[in-house]
Every structure is written in C-alpha cells, then in structure tokens.
Amino acid sequence: MMRRLRAAAAVVAIAGALLAAPGTPAQAQAQTDEPCLQIQPLIDGAGNALIERLGLEQAWQHTRGAGATVAVIDSGVDGDNVHLQGAIAGAQTMFRPTAEQAQSSDPREDLLGHGTAAAGIIAARPVEGSDVVGIAPEADILAIRAFQTNDADSDRAVGPTTRAVADAIRLAADRGADVINLSLSQPQPDPAMQSAIAYAQARGALIVASAGNRGTSEDDPAQPRYPAAYDGVLGVSGVTAEGEWDAASSFLGASVDVVAPGQGLLAPWCGGGDTVLGEQVSSSWATAVVSGIAALVAAEHPDESPQEWAYRIMATALRTTPGERKDTVGWGEARPYEALVFLDDGSAPGPESPTHDRPTDLVVDDEAVRIEAPRDPLAGTRAAVAWTLLGGVTVSLTALVIGNLRTRRPARRGSR
C-alpha cells in the first residue's frame, strides 16, 4: 500500500487531509519502494465497464471533448505514457526540490502515479491493444505538479501545501483551463485556497474537487471537506463499480454534490502501460470521472457558464428520487449523455437552475419522472436501478451548502 505522509508545520498530510489518497493499483502492488519504475503491460481484452455504465458511446456521438482544457493539479502526469502523448497541452511545477531531495520537478514526470491515473481517466487517448480510454478522449490536459510523492519515510518527499495548490489553481485559470480537477481534500478551510478558487471561477473555470476518503483519513467524518465545500465547487464522492455508496470509504455531507464510480477503473500508469485502480473506493478517481464529464459538457456548450455546466451534471444525475438530494450521494451518479442534451427551463426536479426561476405551480411526481440508468449489459440484475443507496446512516453533518453562483461565464479565451 502507498503510505501516508505525516503532517508537518507547512505540509498537510497527503492521504488524510489535502490529498484523497488513491486505491492501490492492482498491477503495482509489488512496487512498494519504486512504484513507477517498472513498466506495466497494456490491458487488452478485459473490456472497459465504465463505458457501458456511463453510456459513453452515446455521449461521444455529440462530443469527445475537443476544445476543452482540464487542469490536473496533482503529482505530475507521465508524458511518456502512450495514452497521454499528444494530450498534454501544457505543464508546470509549483515546487522546486531541494538538493537533499534531489528528485525531478519536471511536471511531465510522476513518481506517485496519482496524477497520471487521474489525467488518464479524464482524457486518455485510445491505443491499439489497450482497453483504457478517457471520459473525454479528445480534451487537453494541463498538467500542474503540486507535489511529488507520499513516501512518509523518505527525506526526499515533497508533499502538497495549501499554498502550492492555491498557486496552481491560479495558474490553471490564467492558462485558460475550463475545468480544474482537484483529486484532493482537507478538513479545514484555508483563505488562500478559497481566494484562488474565487479567482479561477471569475475567469470561467469549473472546479471539481474530491469530498474525501474516510478509509485513508483519521479526521472527524462530521467535518466538511475543502475545497469541495466552497461555494460553486462541484464536490464529488466515490461509489463502487456497481454504484453503491460505501460507508467505510466515503465521507458524506453537504459538500457532496454528485458521485461517480471510484473503484476498479482502468487507467494509464506512471512508468508506462496500464493499471487497474484497486479494490478500495477512492474519491480521487470519482473526481476525475466527473472532471471528464465536465470536459464533455464544456466542449458541447462553450458559451455557458461553469455554474451552468455544474447544474447540468447535478440535475441529470442518476438518483432514486429526482427532487431529493442526499448527504451520501448528493444529487446522484453523474451521467454524461443526459448532461449534454439537458434543456434547462427551470422546471427540472432537483437543484435550482442558476439561470431560470422554478415555476411556482410546478408539481413534481417522483415516480413519473424517475431518472433511470442506461442499460447495463454486464449486470442484468441491476438494470432496473443502477445502484442502491445504503440506508440507516445516522451521521449528522454541519457543512457549507454549495451556493448558486449566478455570474455568467466570461467570453471564452482565444481558440486553442
């Protein structure tokens, strides 16, 4: 297992706080000391269940994400991985290692694998002989390296700080990112982080952030997670490959807006080749899934605001009761095709539209307008309902409520 970095004065613990730690890559379990030096083989013939679960083939008939840029603020992105060649539109590092650390600060290198996997879930290019493909396989990735490893026993470890991540968010906005993926979280608010998020939102970026991993944190589960809890941020929690919420893995609360699968995903891996992201549900991977969906929405609707993009994703998410949000799964499991074709007139049950008032005479019949899952040929037993919510959870949270930012998206910057 990848080990956690202990908190220090200026550094926040990666797994337990600022970074929602990854599940252990199944094909990299033996690489505990040098997890990214051994090249993994391509995964061919297993099939990519996420394509079926999310109905991506239908969504790709509208767009594959061309024209959208997603900033991945993480451990770096392996530019040599075959799936990511041609996908990285820019790269920068927000730290410089000391002489004692003596490890590369090249943003196109990744010593941990976390950033490479997240970028691949978002925008991996299809490659012959591999079943790995991103949610938005024609979107561009802006790789911003904010830390390099979570090896707690290494004096060469450079973990993330709130300042480095905040600076990375500002850089991503200045570089024209449409979507900023933050597969990380912490339990305390931070003024620098909040200011950076407001800065990016004002420049037309949608922030997609992890709502945290309970299994890798010693923090009070009743605490909201940041930056997911900030106004206008799309907070994401992970569910199993079958869409079930796992109380042992995921936090719950008002900072959860939507969920996505965070288990068993195929992804590119640092050092080259592919991996299967392990058995534990991870909000890191779920956040990347939603960032990929956001890239599709941004590419299809470039004149809409980030708040409208987020609203599309929330309003069309798969849930058992369309008019009701739950602390476990927010508005439900994100669905790309439905988000792409959604027409907003203010009458949709669920979250409030950022651009239309809800009709005063609207009557919601939950049974009549129930949102159904796309047909899943891999599991007929769950075709009627894509996932089951775990009941009986009695943890009560006091959290920041995601507000509705009504500022329209500024005119898009020059063509990319």
Residue partners of 319: CB distance under 8 A and separation at least 6: 326, 329, 331, 332, 333, 350, 371
3-state secondary structure of 154: coil
User: Rounded to the nearest 5°, which phi and psi values hold at 285?
Assistant: -75, -35
With beta carbons less than 8 A apart as the criterion, state whether 311 and 356 touch.
Answer: no
How sure is the predictor about 96, in pLDDT bands with cuts at 50, 70 and 90?
low
The predicted-structure confidence for 231-262, as pLDDT tens digits, reads as follows 999 999 999 999 998 888 888 889 999 999 99
Residue 275 DSSP SS3: strand
Of 103 and 386, which is predicted with more confidence?
103
Question: Which entry of 114, 183, 185, 257 is annotated as an active-site residue?
Answer: 114
- Percent of the chain residues topping a pLDDT of 90: 55
User: Of residues 284, 291, 305, 353, which has the active-site annotation?
Assistant: 284
* Catalytic status, residue 106: no
Residue 74: active-site member: yes
Helix 114-123 with 283-300: angle, nearest 10 deg: 40
Number of other residues whose CB lies within 10 A of the CB of residue 376: 17
Q: Which tens digit of pLDDT belongs to each residue from 24-49?
A: 443 333 233 456 766 789 999 889 99
Helices (H) and strands (E) in the chain, counts: 8, 9
Highest mean pLDDT among 28-37, 149-158, 395-404 belongs to 149-158
Mean pLDDT highest for which of 171-175, 369-373, 402-406? 171-175
Q: What CATH number belongs to 14-382? A: 3.40.50.200
Active site residue 130: no
Pairing of strands 266-268, 274-276: antiparallel
Q: Rounded to two decimals, what is the model's pTM?
A: 0.80
